[in-house]
Chain A
Amino acid sequence: METSPESSNSPVEHVSGITVRLAGDSGDGMQLLGTQLTNTSALAGNDVATFPDFPAEIRAPRGTRAGVSGFQVQFAAEEIFTPGDTLDCLVVMNPAALVTNLADLRKGGILVVNEDGFNEKEFKLAKIDKNPLEDEVLESSYRIVKVSMTKLTREAVSELGLSVKIADRCKNFFAMGLVYWLFGRSLEPTLRFIQDKFGKKPDVAQANESALRAGWAFGETTEAFGVSYRVEAAELEPGTYKNVMGNQALAWGLLAAAHRSGKELFYGTYPITPASDILHELTKYKNFGVRTFQAEDEIAAVGATIGAAFGGTMAVTASSGPGIALKAEAMGLGMMVELPMVVINVQRGGPSTGLPTKTEQSDLLQAMFGRNGESPLPILAPQSPGDCFDVVQEAWRLAVECMTPVMVLSDGYIANGSEPWKIPDVASMDPIVVHHPDAPGDADEPFLPYMRDENLARPWAIPGTDGLMHRIGGLEKEDGTGNVSYDPANHQHMTDTRAQKVALVAERIPEQEVFGETEGEVLVVSWGGTYGACHTAVSRCQRAGLTVSHAHVRYLNPLPRNLGDLLKSFKTVLVPELNTGQLRMLLRHQYLVDCIGINKVQGKPFTVTELVEAIRDQACIGKDCTVVDQKLKIRVG
């Protein structure tokens, strides 16, 4: 049987974009399904943005609300920056998934239900007293398609003689086939994936393929949906693309940084959600000269990183908030001994253990001030999954130029999200110049390990170099010689110098760019993973006639040199953050400019709608916004 979009005979409707969420039990394979749908859509030329959302428990009790795992993807024929606010289509495998996700499905949206997952036992597990599918409001609000997925999957694989348990594991592929039919997606990439992944177990590979094809055929032959949808390719910048996740792009950026600086990479780390995937990715690339070290704890991970940096290696450590807290003392040492390294925080919900699998931006002040003493470090934040690739290279460039640890603040949303990434041309990448001083010509000339260049950076003299033997450490250093010094004036001088060194970075980073007018009514200032939602919200407000501009800050310490003037050129400055106002505090402190926060800490990214409403409310104070509201309703609705 032919199963390709071209071979479908049912009516087709063309749309500009679709937002789908796949939700089921954490053992149901929803993340796999979502990843496949994303890759297939990207390969079809759509712009894509994803939002995986899963519990911290590996297998929370089956069937319960706590165990629901979801994956949301928006694919579109135009450039998009978020995984979408409201769902056009929701696929649920059990009652718990239905009750925890239904609120996000738009009225009139498509609800695909695995009918076999709806029985008394499951209702009890989901803590609901009656079958939600029998609710008349549900029937009238959404287009419900009930499919007996478990039963149909068993039938599809029956010839293979597999156990019921194994057969039932294939039902996510049945769901996938059905979703692929609904959105006119090709089965080919997933068929290739099945061969790659399950090729060594031919019966499992065959079962998954049969289930996938059966799901597609179910869509085609039954008239349950009536119509299927097509999303044309998006107009992206010319080039070769692939779909990347944030942590993967970050790992590849580290490889690129090592390549550009002629260094081998040492990555010292301790497993922690949501940073562990960086380790999993990097450890595959030993043939690139990557050495990964899974330490006994977070402190050992950063200690080994500093040790490797002392030896002249490109050294990196990464963690999430709780781990960064443990690394704080050693990061202070890294700053004091002035060695280059990159420290990555893939932020998650805090405080304490907090919400390990959920996103938040609440470690900015930790990065700024979370060490004893006066210990400033440069801080950068990527704005999207693909941007992780660029930001870590920039972090390494600054680390080498300034001889300092540099912090990168990613977050769980970026780390696990994915987007199309234009593959760069490696041959045309600029080198990152690293200099290690050689043995001195004149042996009587004393080596000064804390002599400084125009960036106030000290020389990176590495062990093994004759004549440059020196000792570093956490005790205050005498300027020049680096010997231990308790001299009051020297401590003042060294403290000022270390601060000045970081402040000087502002001269070597780009000025802050603005989307929209560079002066006027309202400026939205954002940082990190909220870029997509903020950009989309501002652009909607602009189209509705509001004079709103957007500045997304990628360099958080030091801030871009023109940022202060920029803030002062607007009547109102809005700062949306997934925290209680950390960048806002820094902006107000540094520039004495009042800023209004738009803040949320719910473990979830901003929706575009909530930002549009917040911006509108501020922009419309004292104004008649009737026309704007009409336009926004059309756009937002």
Chain B
Amino acid sequence: MNLPVLKAADFASDQDVRWCPGCGDYSILAQMKKVLPTLGVPREKIVFISGIGCSSRFPYYMNTYGMHSIHGRAPTFATGLKATRPDLMVWVITGDGDALSIGGNHFIHALRRNVDVNIVLFNNRIYGLTKGQYSPTSGEGQVTKSTPMGSIDHPLNPLSVALAAEATFVARSIDAHVKHLEATLKRAAEHKGTSLVEVYQNCNVFNDGAMSYAQDRTQRPENTIELEHGKPLIFGKDRDKGIRMVGNRLEIVRTADVPADDLLIHDEKTLDPTQHFMLSRMRHPEFPEPIGVFRDVQGIATYDDQINDQVAAARDAKGTGDLQQLFNSGDTWEVA
């Protein structure tokens, strides 16, 4: 069958987009519309499910099926849908408050179950929709509307949490780094099992520039490191710095000072998440922050496959259920 060739515009719904001008969400929406036509999945087979927050308006702007659900719970709706409709491609759109604060429980359980859905976490390190309170990823000491003397919460690192839950696909990208974001979303879509993409997303109203070290084109080369499977970890405008492992910790070295094979080689395929976890601990300003795919392990059974495999196996073993036979089973008696 020849599928009609779709363009990004075919995925735009008839609704006006209502994010603030300059919001990082626009870029994520644009990259998503670019990626979807490349996947060969018809629009009617795609579902976007979101929670609550600025990012969670996303489904309204996509000409696919969609559900704007309740705060923090989007992974649960996605799990029920994907378990019963494995033919659908399901995306979860969430934010740092939605996924990590009110929805923290569902976030880790979706990841550990490995439901074949793609989670895109818009991390702007602030509550935008409720107008500027600190979020679980806001930094210590950050002054916000609800923390006039500075936040005393230790921030949560979403990728470390995901790796602890042994998520099978974990990645990070940046709203302003459009090519990278597009490529990363495509990788997430292609992964079988739960995919998590954390996107550094600028909230230009309540937390402008919080991640400018990574978003700003001129600062990015020194402050981020693009992960590539099988390649050494090298960064810097002049690609003159690298990461090596000494004992059980990572350190920055000048590439000129060490033999080439001293540098850490990125292995996104290894089952053991320990090295991926170490990468997730690299935080600005001590380290360049890795972007790209931290982990992409294949062959782990998905929840949706298994729940449906059990139904098929039960039918193979017992035959398709017969209600009358079930009702008549066990001890019965006749009344004449």
Residues of A participating in the B interface, judged by any CB pair closer than 8 Å:
39, 42-43, 45, 189, 233, 235-243, 252, 255-256, 259, 264, 266, 268, 285-291, 293, 295-297, 299-313, 315, 329-330, 333, 337, 423-427, 463-475, 483-484
Contacts and interface: CB of A to CB of B under 8 A. Distances in A.
Nearest to B327: A423
A42 B106 CA distance: 46
Nearest to B329: A242
A236 B334 CA distance: 10
A300 B331 contact: no
Contact of B80 (A45, A240, A242, A268): A268
Nearest to A427: B324
Interface stretch (B57-65, B146-154, B166-174, B244-252): B57-65
Interface in B59-102: 59-60, 62-70, 73, 75-85, 87-88
Nearest to A425: B324
A140 B127 CA distance: 76
B76 A299 contact: yes
A463 B88 contact: yes
A39 B331 contact: yes
B47 interface: yes
Given A307-B81, A310-B77, A463-B44, A252 B67 contact: no
A235 B47 CA distance: 57
B81 A468 contact: no
Contact of A288 (B47, B87, B320, B331): B320
B243 to A, nearest CB: 36
A304 B80 contact: yes
Contacts of A425: 324
Given A307-B78, A463-B45, A484-B60, 18 more contacts: A189-B331, A238-B335, A240-B328, A242-B328, A256-B323, A291-B307, A299-B73, A300-B106, A302-B76, A303-B77, A304-B80, A307-B81, A463-B65, A464-B87, A466-B44, A472-B66, A473-B59, A473-B67
Contact of B85 (A289, A293, A464): A464
B83 A475 contact: no
A421 B15 CA distance: 55
Most buried by B among A241, A311, A315, A467: A311
Contacts of A189: 331
Contacts of B15: 483-484
B326 interface: yes
Contact of A307 (B76, B317, B333): B76
Contacts of A299: 73, 76, 106
B186 interface: no
B63 A43 contact: no
A313 B88 CA distance: 14
Given A300-B106, A333-B70, A287 B315 contact: yes
Chain A to chain B: the 3 pairs with minimum beta-carbon distance, closest first: A303-B76, A473-B68, A304-B80
A45 B335 contact: yes
A11 B320 CA distance: 52
A471 B60 contact: yes
A144 B179 CA distance: 88
Most buried by B among A45, A255, A473: A473
A43 B333 contact: yes
A287 B314 contact: yes
5 contacts: A300-B76, A303-B73, A463-B44, A466-B44, A469-B65
B307 A293 contact: yes
B330 interface: yes
Contacts of B323: 255-256, 259, 288, 426
Given A291-B307, A293-B307, A240 B334 contact: yes
Given A243-B331, A287-B317, A311 B67 contact: no
Chain A, interface SS category: mixed
Contact of B106 (A237, A296, A309): A296
Contact of A426 (B83, B327, B330, B335): B327
A165 to B, nearest CB: 31
Nearest to B50: A473
B44 A471 contact: no
A427 to B, nearest CB: 7
Contact of A266 (B68, B80, B88, B327): B80
Given A256-B323, A308-B81, A333-B70, A242 B76 contact: no
A427 B325 CA distance: 12
A123 to B, nearest CB: 40
A285 B60 CA distance: 38
A465 B77 contact: no
B11 to A, nearest CB: 10
Most buried by B among A239, A464, A471: A471
Contact of B328 (A43, A423, A468, A471): A423
Contacts of B79: 293, 295, 300, 303-304, 307
A233 B60 CA distance: 64
B87 A252 contact: no
Nearest to A302: B76
Most buried by A among B84, B311, B326, B331: B84
Interface string B292-323: 00000000000000011011011101111101
A306 B174 CA distance: 32
Contacts of B314: 286-287
A285 B331 contact: no
B222 to A, nearest CB: 41
Interface string B48-61: 11000000000110
A313 B336 CA distance: 40
B105 interface: yes
Contacts of B328: 240, 242, 423
A469 B41 CA distance: 14
B273 to A, nearest CB: 21
B109 interface: yes
A236 B333 CA distance: 11
A303 B80 contact: yes
A471 B61 CA distance: 9
Given A295-B76, A300-B106, A240 B81 contact: no
Contacts of A465: 44
B43 interface: yes
A40 to B, nearest CB: 9
Nearest to A311: B85
A308 B47 contact: no
Contacts of A268: 80
Given A268-B80, A296-B106, A483-B15, A287 B321 contact: yes
B2 interface: no
Contacts of A264: 84
Contacts of A266: 80, 83-84
Nearest to A304: B80
A472 B320 contact: no
B332 interface: yes
A313 B84 contact: yes
A286 B310 contact: yes
Contacts of B69: 303, 306, 333, 473-474
A446 to B, nearest CB: 8
B335 A468 contact: no
Given A242-B331, A463-B65, A471-B65, A306 B13 contact: no
Nearest to A474: B70
B330 A242 contact: yes
A469 B47 CA distance: 9
Most buried by A among B63, B320, B333: B333
B43 to A, nearest CB: 6
Nearest to B85: A311
Nearest to B42: A466
B83 A467 contact: no
Contacts of B66: 470-473
Nearest to A39: B331
Given A303-B80, A310-B77, A287 B332 contact: no
B311 A286 contact: yes
B70 A329 contact: yes
Nearest to B321: A288
Contacts of B307: 291, 293
Contact of B335 (A39, A236, A484): A236
